[in-house]
A and B are shown apart, each in its own frame.
Chain A
Amino acid sequence: MKEIYDRLVEHILDSQNKFYRIAYCYVYQKEAALDIVQNAICKALENYQSLRNVDAVKTWFYRILINECLQYIRKHKSEVLCEPAQLKEDLYYEDAYEPKIGVYEKVCNLPDQMKVIVILHYFEEMTIKEIAQVTKVNINTVKTRLYAALQRLKKEMEVELE
């Protein structure tokens, strides 16, 4: 039990920046993202006793985090918008990034199921297997959704270029 607690705390302290960025991808506001991360941490630290396997700590926590993100959005539907102006505030913005920000926005606008996979795979560099554990779906489902997401993004960008 102590081992699991220690591993959890270690994970939290080491990866806090990642947690923040993921949350930010959902709510685009500093305060909201902080709230989400804090809630996730508290939930995790209150309920880790249910964990049996110390290796599961990492994916288990991401699961809680994503859930908190989704819950927040559900509660604050009207307030959550990916605004380019806001993004420029919250990013270390450089002109060279301009086209990339456009794509980033599109990722943010993906449907939840696709979005989480893109974020975890491309931004957090998690393996398909890990993503399957976090999202509690079949590995093949993850692959399918990922492919669908890429197709969609490509299509949207083509539309823009035309």
Chain B
Amino acid sequence: MKLEEVKDVYDEIKVPGELDKMVRKSVKEHPFQGGGIKKNAKYKAVTFLKYTASAAAVILLCFITALNSNEAFAKAAGDIPVLGRIARVLTVRSYTKVEENKNISVNIPAVDIPSMDTTEQVPPQTDQADNQTDAGKAADQNDKFITDVNAEIEKVVDDYLADAKERCEADKQAFLATGGTEDEWAQRDLGINVDYEVKYQKDNTLSLILTADESWYGAYELTYYYNLDLGKNRKLTLSDVLGDKYIEVADTSIISQMKERVKQNDSYIYWGVTDNNELGITGFTTVNDNTKFYINEDGKAVVCFDKYEVAPGFMGKQEFVIE
């Protein structure tokens, strides 16, 4: 027998499916490095950056402490380029207009951070080159997050306005079709309102609510909640504010508050909670990741339910402060 024939055995060795995946992953993890950085030089550069990053972190910590303890310093801090990124909520679009008998009043908010020229002078204690890059990068991520949130807000408002106008038109047609006159329609006070309120703003936390409604109808009111962590560039969740046991904590608090309110008001009722489920309507069961909330000026989480969500419509929106 020739050895060539043994090759058949060799060729029959099963190649596992994971091989290809693993190979592609390894290749991906080693992309081409232009400029031929040698291994040692790369390691040195990384170590160097680590040192300057931690130096920058220490400076930042001192700054924050100083900021909180000294008002004069805080004011001056607003002018320091790299470190003076303090967020504001601005009204970016505000108008009232009368359009075919509709009074439209709109105040659209946007989160704003005064834009930075990151090539400006840096406080002398830190290493200039690396602090700029680090701050520049952080600023870019921050900008992107904020741009995304602002875009979201704008879209929500635009969509709502478009819907509201449609509804208004449809209603008008129905009104006219059932015998109403143009004059009578004109006398109705149709207002479409979009407004916002900053509920809480401290350090890097920002909580604002956006409300939209049509005043003569009222039934289409919508509320949107934006709770932002501007330091970490993400939206806050209930568990961020209330901790790991947030479900337990919130549920207990909400249920006891519901019972208390029912005691105070004869006509009140919370489906599923205070009515022994007589009506068979599912109301409040538990909070979860999607539960709406905002942060009030005391820094407490306030869980919010829309009209009809946990109670009959006459009770309106329901809010519960979680201590």
Contact = CB atoms under 8 A, between A and B. Distances in A.
A16 interface: yes
A101 B36 CA distance: 47
Given A42-B30, A45-B26, A92-B12, 20 more contacts: A12-B23, A12-B27, A13-B23, A20-B19, A30-B16, A34-B18, A37-B23, A38-B23, A41-B26, A41-B27, A42-B29, A46-B39, A99-B1, A100-B1, A103-B1, A103-B3, A107-B3, A118-B3, A122-B4, A157-B1
A144 interface: no
B7 A122 contact: yes
Interface residues of A, number: 40
- Find the residue from A37, A104, A118 having the highest chain B CB count within 10 A: A104
Contact of B6 (A5, A41, A46, A103): A103
Given A20-B19, A38-B26, A41-B26, A100 B9 contact: yes
Contacts of B13: 20-21, 24-25, 90-91
A25 B10 contact: yes
B249 to A, nearest CB: 46
A26 to B, nearest CB: 12
Chain B interface main SS type: helix
Interface in A1-57: 1-2, 5-6, 9, 12-13, 16-17, 20-21, 24-25, 30, 34, 37-38, 41-42, 45-46, 49
Contacts of B39: 46
B8 interface: yes
B12 A107 contact: no
Nearest to B25: A38
Interface of A: 1-2, 5-6, 9, 12-13, 16-17, 20-21, 24-25, 30, 34, 37-38, 41-42, 45-46, 49, 90-93, 97, 99-101, 103-104, 107, 118-119, 122-123, 150, 153, 157
Contacts of B188: none
A38 to B, nearest CB: 6
Contacts of A46: 30, 39
Contacts of B15: 17, 20-21
Nearest to A21: B13
Contacts of B24: 13
B2 to A, nearest CB: 9
Nearest to B24: A13
A97 B3 contact: no
